[in-house]
């Protein structure tokens, strides 16, 4: 197994290296194609126009290392119909070597692939633009033809994001337009968009250096006006004119330092175009290589994940098996120690005597705090009885009668001796009616039938108003019959304040109880 894993890892490592090397070489060597436009006017092969065009493209390619990234020239006699005018514009943040690669590629693909024997041609790449034709366009601002693209991803807050984009690119217009004639008319900016999560906005605007400040300003503002049409709420967008272009993205697509190599083009495939924009079916062949590269890299990543999961999964399984073998003896002993024979259980429960029965259904507060319907009312009743008697329900057990606290209180209530339950610490000064009323309310709260227990609102009225009549309490939950159990009917008590006494006269009386207190 170890040999197979090592072989798989070696094969995988080789595939990874091949994939990334091919991706690196492709991204460095080939500029990324965007779009092209050709008119219907053609020329014949080996004609004068054809010869002049070849000279023009050769001149553009040889001057592609110029510092400004822009070059305009013409070939042929100005008075003839065979004159050719041409220019290129490289993105202002790129190095001269990258610019030359892009111009060389565009010059070759224009005449061989995209626009063979066409007099007027316009090509856009991510890195540059190449343009030529039989009419001069030097120092002329052209907004047509135009092409625009957009990022398929939507912004989290489209309205706010659109506003930030518009403000950012509009603010860059005077920066680019006011550059000196002949210098790079370029402006870039990075912003932070604080939507649902912090996102970055990278923007770039650029004009051809031959334009005046006014023409550059007008061209860029015309491109900005197209953004709502093409890129509303999108995380990225591009508008390309022959004389200027703008672009914004949520990722860094330009070089912050022009001395560094250009960034790898974005991994997303080019989005579909809106109706009315220039068709891009002519560039489908160039996208195939990009898709192949992406597919290879994704496949390699998936293979790496599978190998890693298999490797770590087998390690975890081996470790688990070792631990399981070590603990199997202890586990068997633990299971056997939890088993009791029927005879042991029968002896421990005194042949399942009802005197050892703790109750039915939910065992409420009296056992281990398990809850059922109105368990909060039950707990309040137990608490009241604990306060009056000074005894805890969990610790109280009357060995003489085999009773717990609730059974003990119920027996005294039934026998008409509720004051005997009073805590000895309270017997020096107490109100008989209050003690009896508290015991009465406590017994109502712990009745066996949850439906008979009063609601919390009713309990508050009982505690605060002596004019409210209360029903007779029923047997409490978990009531244990004592050995001296007497079947006496429940009672209601009526009394007035008296000093503590061991005897109490009881009678059935539905009259309300009024108790007077001195003014404080």
Helices and strands, counts by H and E, the chain: 13, 10
The pLDDT confidence band at residue 260, using thresholds 50, 70 and 90, is very low
Q: 343 versus 60: which is more confidently predicted?
A: 60
In percent, the amount of the chain with pLDDT more than 70 equals 68
Q: What own/partner pairs with CB < 8 Å and gap ≥ 24 does 483-489 have?
A: 483/401, 483/402, 484/401, 485/411, 486/411, 486/414, 486/415, 488/414, 488/415, 488/416, 489/414
Domain with CATH 1.10.510.10 in the chain: 363-520
Q: Is the pLDDT of residue 333 over 70?
A: no
Quote the pLDDT of residue 358: 55
Q: Which of 190-199, 321-330, 460-469 has the highest mean pLDDT?
A: 460-469
Look up the CATH superfamily of 147-279: Gnk2 domain, C-X8-C-X2-C motif (3.30.430.20)
Longest CA span, the chain: 137
Quote the pLDDT of residue 46: 93
Q: Which CATH architecture has domain 363-520?
A: Orthogonal Bundle (1.10)
- Average pLDDT of the chain, as a whole number: 77
Please name the helix (run of DSSP H) or strand (run of DSSP E) that holds residue 354, with its range, or none.
none
Quote the pLDDT of residue 340: 62
Of 146-150, 275-279, 305-309, 477-481, the range with the lowest mean pLDDT is 275-279
- CATH code, residues 31-138: 3.30.430.20
**Cβ atoms of residues 95 and 127 within 8 Å:** no
At a CB cut-off of 8 Å and minimum separation 6, what does 267 contact?
294
- The pTM assigned to this predicted structure is 0.47
Quote the pLDDT of residue 397: 61
Domain with CATH 3.30.430.20 in the chain: 31-138, 147-279
Which whole number is the average pLDDT over 20-32? 55
Write out pLDDT tens, residues 140-159.
999 999 999 999 999 888 99
Q: Which of 258-262, 275-279, 325-329, 380-384 has the highest mean pLDDT?
A: 380-384
Tell me how far apart the alpha carbons of residues 29 and 104 are, in angstroms, rounded to a whole number: 11
Quote the pLDDT of residue 319: 61
Q: Is the pLDDT of residue 27 over 80?
A: no
> Quick one: tokens of 57?
């493209």
312, 317, 318, 321 alpha-carbon torsion, rounded to 10°: 160
């Amino acid at each position: 197994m170890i040999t197979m894993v090592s072989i798989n890892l070696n094969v995988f490592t080789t595939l990874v290296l091949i994939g990334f090397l091919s991706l690196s070489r492709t991204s460095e060597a080939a500029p990324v194609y965007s779009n092209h436009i050709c008119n219907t006017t053609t020329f014949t092969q080996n004609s004068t126009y054809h010869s002049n065009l070849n000279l023009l493209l050769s001149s553009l390619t040889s001057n592609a290392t110029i510092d400004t990234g822009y070059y305009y020239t013409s070939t042929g006699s100005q008075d003839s119909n065979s004159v050719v005018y041409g220019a290129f514009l490289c993105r202002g943040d790129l190095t001269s070597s990258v610019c030359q690669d892009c111009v060389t590629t565009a010059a070759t693909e224009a005449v061989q692939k995209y626009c063979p024997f066409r007099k007027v041609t316009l090509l856009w790449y991510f890195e540059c633009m190449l343009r030529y034709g039989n009419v001069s366009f030097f120092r002329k601002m052209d907004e047509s033809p135009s092409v625009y693209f957009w990022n398929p991803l939507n912004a989290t807050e489209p309205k706010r994001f659109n506003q930030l984009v518009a403000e950012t690119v509009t603010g860059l217009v005077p920066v680019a337009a006011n550059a000196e004639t002949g210098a790079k008319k370029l402006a870039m900016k990075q912003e932070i968009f604080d939507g649902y999560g912090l996102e970055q906005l990278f923007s770039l605007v650029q004009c051809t250096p031959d334009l005046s400040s006014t023409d550059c300003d007008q061209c860029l503002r015309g491109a900005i006006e197209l953004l709502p049409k093409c890129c509303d709420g999108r995380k990225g967008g591009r508008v390309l004119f022959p004389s200027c272009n703008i672009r914004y993205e949520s990722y860094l697509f330009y070089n912050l330092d022009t001395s560094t190599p250009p960034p790898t083009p974005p991994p997303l495939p080019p989005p579909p175009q809106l109706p009315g924009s220039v068709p891009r079916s002519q560039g489908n062949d160039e996208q195939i290589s990009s898709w192949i590269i992406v597919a290879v890299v994704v496949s390699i990543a998936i293979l790496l994940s599978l190998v890693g999961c298999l490797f770590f999964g087998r390690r975890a399984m081996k470790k688990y098996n070792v631990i399981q073998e070590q603990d199997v003896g202890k586990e068997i002993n633990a299971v056997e120690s939890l088993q009791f024979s029927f005879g042991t259980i029968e002896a421990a429960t005194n042949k399942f005597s009802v005197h050892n029965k703790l109750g039915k259904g939910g065992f409420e507060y009296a056992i281990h705090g398990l809850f059922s319907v109105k368990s909060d009312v039950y707990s309040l009743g137990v608490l009241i009885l604990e306060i009056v008697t000074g005894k805890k329900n969990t610790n109280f057990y009357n060995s003489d009668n085999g009773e717990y606290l609730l059974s003990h209180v119920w027996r005294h209530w039934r026998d008409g001796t509720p004051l005997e339950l009073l805590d000895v610490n309270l017997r020096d000064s107490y109100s008989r009616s209050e003690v009896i009323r508290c015991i009465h309310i406590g017994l109502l709260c712990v009745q066996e039938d949850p439906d008979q227990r009063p609601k919390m609102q009713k309990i508050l009225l009982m505690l605060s108003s002596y004019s409210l009549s209360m029903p007779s309490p029923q047997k409490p939950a978990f009531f244990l019959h004592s050995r001296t159990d007497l079947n006496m009917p429940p009672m209601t008590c009526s009394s007035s304040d008296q000093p503590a006494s061991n005897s109490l006269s009881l009678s059935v009386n539905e009259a309300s109880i009024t108790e007077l207190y001195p003014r404080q």
